[in-house]
Amino acid sequence: MKKHIFNIFLISILSIFIITGCTTVGASDFKTNPDNNEKNVQDSLPQKIEHAGSQGCGEETKTDQDKDVSAPIESDRNDENVDNNKESNTEEEGVKDKSNPENIATHYSGNGDQKLVALTFDDGPESELTPEILDILDEHDIKATFFVIGQNAARHTETLREIHDRGHEIGNHSWSHKYLPKISKRSKKDEILKTEELLEDVLGKHTPIFRPPYGAVKAQDKELIDSLGYKIVNWSVDTRDWAGTSGEQIMKYVKQQLKPGGIILMHNSGNTKTVKNMIKTLPTMINWIEEQGYEFVTVTEILD
């Protein structure tokens, strides 16, 4: 009898042990997916946020309705848990997105088969710097790409049209330059589609390239951007023009980072004083790049 009671006791203990063990395993599985993310746990992790270049697009923007969305101010995005190192290696060409199961690419450069280069100017248009840049480009007979902020384009539709009429490519750079990883999916969509609507109204066509503000994009957002018909385009050469970088230093960055297929990041909005250093240096930069045997093309051309 005593032995029988002992057996029941032993079985009970073992059952409790087994049940507890299972529960623990279940709990630890759940811990790996705290956001109950239906797709990929890694998508929800901050280190999976892409951020091109050490400063991204480098500009903190104002949302003041009375002003252009611009005003590049150095923004330290480290507080945003953005992985600054992952994408800061601008030496790498054609970096593939490794974090997204769909493998939707973020383009940092062309394939490098030919000595092609694409100049890109972000955050405009506006009425002072943009025309100056357009004149310089005309003087050298080269075409560039302008990633425009919808809100600015809405205020400067004439300049927008002029960029297009003078043969340059235009890309979507969101409506108000919000940091996409921190806003809702609905807002991201609005940011893209509102600009798209405006561009289509003014230019009469879809512009198939999108540059996320600050170059920051979460892996899961890529699906959204891709589904809206856009290629995601960042850059391989960061001039840091928005930060008041001297012409000499800008040239140093270009010489260090430029490789065939390179996409160069510059701005045509924001703090006029700081961006002016770039504009003053632009003819020198263009001449140097030409001397190296490069051909200037638009972003779409360099990605083809």
Q: Which residues bind Zn ion (CB under 5 A)?
A: 57, 122-123
Q: How far is the CB of 42 from Zn ion (least distance, A)?
A: 26
Q: How far is the CB of 211 from Zn ion (least distance, A)?
A: 7
The smaller minimum CB distance to Zn ion, of residues 213 and 260, is found at: 213
Angle at 34 between CA 54 and CA 29, to 5 degrees: 120
Q: How far is the CB of 212 from Zn ion (least distance, A)?
A: 9
The smaller minimum CB distance to Zn ion, of residues 99 and 120, is found at: 120
Nearest residue to 108 via CA among 98, 99, 122, 97: 97
- Alpha helices by DSSP H, listed for 156-246, are 157-165, 185-203, 219-227
Residue nearest to Zn ion (CB): 57
The smaller minimum CB distance to Zn ion, of residues 80 and 123, is found at: 123
Torsion angle (degrees, nearest 10) of CA 46, 50, 56, 61: -60
Q: How far is the CB of 112 from Zn ion (least distance, A)?
A: 25
Under a CB-based contact definition with an 8 Å cutoff, are residues 86 and 70 in contact?
Answer: no
The catalytic site residues sit at 122, 267
Residues 6+ apart with CB under 8 A from 279: 129, 132, 133, 136
Q: How many residues does the chain have?
A: 304
Residues 6+ apart with CB under 8 A from 66: none
The smaller minimum CB distance to Zn ion, of residues 178 and 218, is found at: 178
